[in-house]
Amino acid sequence: MKFSGFPVARRALMTAAVVGLVASQALTPVRAEDAPRVKFATSAGDFVVEVYPDKAPKTVANFLQYVKDKHYDGTIFHRVINNFMIQGGGYDAKYAEKPTRAPVVHEGREALAKGGPRNVVGTLAMARTNDPNSATAQFFINVRDNAFLDPSAQSYGYTVFGKVVSGMDVIDKIKTTPTGPGGPFPSDVPRTPVLINSATLVK
């Protein structure tokens, strides 16, 4: 950053002030009323999630871009395990996997260190493979407290970046839907498909 025209001493003070401002902004948590929210309209009902860019900025930006791109519209919850979690956002109603962008860097430990939420009932986290930096579009919602999914010194865990703020009754309905084999999956697929009709940024 250039401060042409300022004396050296004033320029140094200005630089220090800007650095301090940026640091304070980075540490300032997003107020609940300012947190972005996304409404999911599904065949089982509607629910709304709140996401936290101050805790997991790359993860939230990635998720919101998929929302803006309408990626989630027409996808299903393809993996539902009562007393564990519900997972979706990757496959359409014919079990065709939707194309995705490049994976997002894992932010689980960083988010937790910033006071982010853990894998407890109602929280939203990114699904991934064994590679911690492999998350793309798929997400899951915890339907019980899953402490073993939390990041630790021994495990990358899963990046939690939001939570359900309304419509938890819909999540409870989805988690108890009868499941079985479906498409390429041998189990845990809802026998009656749970379709995400739309995912819309509402604030």
CA–CA distance, 117 with 125 (Å, rounded to integer): 10
* Prediction pTM value: 0.84
For the domain 32-201, what is the CATH superfamily, name and number?
Answer: Cyclophilin-like (2.40.100.10)
Rg (CA), the chain: 20
In 3-state terms, what secondary structure has residue 160? strand
Question: What is the pLDDT confidence band of residue 30, given thresholds at 50, 70 and 90?
Answer: low
- Please report, as a single letter, which amino acid is at residue 20: G
Q: What was the pLDDT predicted at 1?
A: 35
Kindly report the number of other CB atoms within 10 A of residue 91's CB atom.
22
* CATH 2.40.100.10, the chain: domain bounds: 32-201
Q: Is the pLDDT of residue 29 over 90?
A: no
Q: What are the counts of helices (DSSP H) followed by strands (DSSP E) for the chain?
A: 4, 10
**Residue 63 φ then ψ, to 5°:** -60, -45
**Nearest partner of 47 among 176, 172, 179, 190, judged by Cα:** 172
pLDDT tens digit sequence for 4-18: 333 333 333 333 443
Q: What six digits make up the tokens of 5? A: 């025209």
Q: Is the pLDDT of residue 190 over 60?
A: yes
Torsion angle of C-alpha atoms 159, 163, 168, 173, degrees rounded to 10: -20
pLDDT tens digit sequence for 130-176: 999 999 999 999 999 999 999 999 999 999 999 999 999 999 999 99
Among 12-16, 55-59, 85-89, 112-116, the minimum mean pLDDT is found in 12-16
Locus of tokens 């390429």: 184
Question: What is the pLDDT confidence band of residue 203, given thresholds at 50, 70 and 90?
Answer: confident
